[in-house]
Amino acid sequence: MEREKNNNSNNRSNKVFIGTTIALLILVLCLAGYIFLNKDNIKYITGNNNTNAKNETVSKNNDKTTNSSDNNTSTSTDNNSNNSTPSENTNTTNSIVSFDSTKAINSSQKNYTLACQGSFGIYITVDASQKVMDFSFTPSRVVENYPLNWTSTNNSISHSEIKFTKKIIDVFFGGMGQSSTGDTVFILLEDGTVEYIPIVHALNHAQGAVISYGAIDGISGVTKFTLANTSGSVTTLAIKSDGTFYDLWYALKDTGNY
């Protein structure tokens, strides 16, 4: 009797186990079937979530880029605004490049000074301060090439020291007209003005020393000189930083010094 009870109990346990196992298998099969049937929807949902996440990331990055761009634009505008004020008030002489003897690119020499090789025995140098110019010439040579009213000459080099209140930026031996009577030394100063020495007139009226004839009226903002031909004659141009220029013959022809 007792053995029969045990057998019945084991049978019930086996049935419960089998039933539970079958139920689990059915649940697993149902779940697998559901996933299989709805796999496209699941991918779509997952894909959308990923896309949304990516879009959010891109959107945030775009926002950052836009903000950065806006900030850069603002900064650039501010900088341009800040730069525009001094630009409007900047003197054109700022475009002049001052001579600095220490800035040689391919030489270690530091003792350079400005100089100008003139014609017919005339030689010009500028000292290290750039405010004193030495105008030297050999009388016997210049008298052979210029129409001078001298009664006697010699071979001794004559020196004239010419002082300036502003720094000399450039010295240029220029010509005007069709003869040597238009030869002129032009001196560009740091403020963009130009002084001049008409060779023939200066040598004829030197009285022992050649002098500068002062600043040319109406000339300002000059950055450099160049020779040019016009209507069969040579002339000297004084060029400004914006490319406009003065024909120095027209500035000097009525001075009475030629």
Q: HSE-up of 136 (CA within 13 Å, CB side)? A: 13
Which strands make up the sheet holding 158-163, listed edge to edge?
A: 115-117, 122-126, 132-137, 158-163
Structural contact between residues 201 and 144, judged by C-beta atoms closer than 8 angstroms: no
Which of these, 181, 112, 184, 195, lies nearest to 149 by C-alpha position?
Answer: 181
3-state secondary structure 127-178: CCCCCEEEEEECHHHHHHHCCCCCCCCCCCCEEEEEECCCCEEEEEEECCEC
Structural contact between residues 160 and 211, judged by C-beta atoms closer than 8 angstroms: yes
AA letter at 86: P
The Cα 34–Cα 28 span in angstroms is 10
The Cα 184–Cα 239 span in angstroms is 16
Q: Which of 18-27, 47-56, 140-149 has the lowest mean pLDDT?
A: 47-56
Q: Which of 17-26, 72-81, 138-147, 199-208 has the lowest mean pLDDT?
A: 72-81
Bridge partners of 240, per DSSP, are 222
Write out pLDDT tens, residues 215-228: 999 999 999 999 99
Enter the tokens of residue 188: 């560009």
pLDDT value of position 13: 65
Listed in sequence order, the residues at least 6 apart from 227 whose beta carbon sits closer than 8 Å to its beta carbon are: 174, 175, 234, 235, 236, 237
Which of these, 198, 214, 201, lies nearest to 163 by C-alpha position?
Answer: 214
- Please indicate whether residue 75 or residue 120 has the higher confidence score (pLDDT): 120
Backbone angles phi, psi at 38, to 5 degrees: -115, 20
What pTM was estimated for this model as a whole?
A: 0.63
Q: Report CA torsion sign: 99, 100, 106, 111.
A: positive
Structural contact between residues 163 and 132, judged by C-beta atoms closer than 8 angstroms: yes
DSSP state of 85: H
- Please indicate whether residue 105 or residue 51 has the higher confidence score (pLDDT): 105
Which of these, 167, 157, 156, lies nearest to 133 by C-alpha position?
Answer: 167
Write out pLDDT tens, residues 109-120: 888 999 998 878
DSSP state of 241: T
Average pLDDT value for residue range 42-71: 48
Bridge partners of 225, per DSSP, are 238
